[in-house]
């Protein structure tokens, strides 16, 4: 694959680069880049910052909070975690109606194959994870936009597991539900499986070489990099983007769907939906913004809701689900 080099460790710049490339850098073949963040927690696009992250711990330890452009749950990054981004064209002509589910690049299979070449018995398993001998070493997420898709995720090399568990330990969280010691036993650092490498720098160089396979480097212009920085400054680092999406409402409905946990926060005025926000750790192909707009102004009754919902829209927002599932969620 062709590739970009990204030496930034600023989570806001790196989130902006992911979005900029997905929306603006088109290629007939997949391309990738590897990158790292300074200590930070990255929450999914639809997550509530106040309920998913131990903000007191973050603030007292100088850990950055950022929000990404894809779904899924909160993850902890530090400089001993290697992240990857793969951007691929969808299998359709730009003038055709694209069906994201037809894309063949919907998993980080190249990452798994590269790890195996390094001697790591990695495998894709679960909803969005890479496991080694039954222990999680990576999570990933996906998004589709403008006939392209992005797959990005983590590769834990020598991450501080104690900090990871502390920053994600909140009431009602997976840490609370499963127990911190149990969670620790279910995750692993790749360092344990790569004894021949002295550092993450060496591992990154090896993965870079395997994934590139002799293909050439892509270059972003100075104007393009300036635009990425502008997006980082004006969107990804702002309070509105990080915290402003975390809303409270008159009614809260929650359900487990095939794509993950979905929570609907609903505000009503005389039986009419005045606002609705879907949040949670669910994975998605398209953001829920349009679906939320369709439901706003609708009577909060099953017949009216059923008239608004259609299976095509629902399945793009909540893969594996249909309009009946969303009706059940809202009722």
pLDDT tens digits for range 54-97 = 988 998 999 999 999 999 889 999 999 999 999 999 864 433 44
Quick check: 301 and 272 in contact, CB under 8 A? no
Residues 149 and 276 grouped into a single domain: no
Residues 45 and 168 grouped into a single domain: yes
Q: What is the tens place of the pLDDT at every residue in 18-32?
A: 999 999 999 999 999
At 190, give phi and psi (nearest 5°): -65, -20
Instruction: Supply the CATH number for residue 262's domain.
Output: 3.30.390.50
- This prediction has a pTM of 0.78
Range of the domain at 278: 251-330
Which residue among 200, 223, 242 closes a domain? 242
Residues 237 and 256 grouped into a single domain: no
Q: How confident is the model at residue 211 (pLDDT cuts 50, 70, 90)?
A: very high
**3-state DSSP of 286-313:** CCCHHHHHHHCCCECCHHHHHHHCCHHH
Residues 21 and 136 grouped into a single domain: yes
Look at residue 184 in the predicted model and tell me its pLDDT: 58
Q: Does residue 102 register a pLDDT over 60? A: no
Distance separating alpha carbons of residues 61 and 48, to the nearest angstrom = 21
Q: How confident is the model at residue 194 (pLDDT cuts 50, 70, 90)?
A: very high
Q: Quick check: helix, strand or coil at residue 324? A: helix
Residues 194 and 263 grouped into a single domain: no
């Amino acid at each position: 694959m062709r590739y970009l080099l990204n030496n930034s460790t600023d989570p806001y710049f790196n989130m902006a680069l992911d979005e900029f490339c997905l929306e603006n850098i088109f290629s007939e073949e997949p391309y990738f880049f590897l990158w790292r963040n300074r200590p930070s927690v990255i929450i999914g696009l639809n997550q509530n910052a106040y309920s998913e992250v131990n903000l007191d711990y973050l603030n007292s330890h100088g850990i950055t909070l950022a929000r990404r452009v894809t779904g899924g749950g909160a993850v902890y990054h530090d400089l001993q975690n290697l992240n990857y981004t793969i951007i691929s064209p969808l299998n359709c002509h730009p003038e055709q109606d694209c069906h994201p589910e037809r894309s063949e690049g919907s998993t980080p299979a190249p990452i798994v194959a590269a790890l195996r070449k390094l001697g790591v018995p990695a495998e894709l398993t679960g909803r969005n994870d890479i496991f080694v001998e039954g222990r999680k070493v990576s999570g990933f997420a996906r998004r589709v936009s403008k006939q392209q898709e992005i797959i990005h995720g983590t590769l834990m090399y020598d991450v501080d597991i104690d900090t990871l568990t502390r920053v994600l330990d909140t009431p009602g969280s997976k840490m609370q539900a499963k127990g911190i010691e149990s969670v620790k036993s279910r995750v692993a650092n790749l360092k344990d499986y790569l004894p021949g490498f002295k550092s993450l720098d060496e591992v990154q160089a090896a993965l870079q070489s395997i994934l590139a396979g002799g293909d050439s480097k892509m270059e972003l212009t100075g104007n393009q990099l300036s635009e990425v920085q502008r997006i980082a400054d004006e969107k990804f680092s702002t309070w509105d983007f990080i915290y402003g999406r975390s809303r409270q409402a008159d009614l809260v409905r929650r359900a487990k769907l095939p794509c993950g946990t979905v929570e609907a926060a609903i505000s009503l005025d005389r039986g009419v939906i005045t606002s609705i926000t879907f949040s949670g750790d669910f994975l998605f192909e398209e953001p829920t913004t349009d679906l939320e707009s369709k439901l706003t102004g609708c009577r909060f009754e099953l017949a009216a809701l059923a008239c608004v919902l259609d299976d095509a829209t629902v399945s793009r927002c909540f893969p594996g689900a249909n309009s009946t599932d969303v009706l059940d969620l809202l009722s």
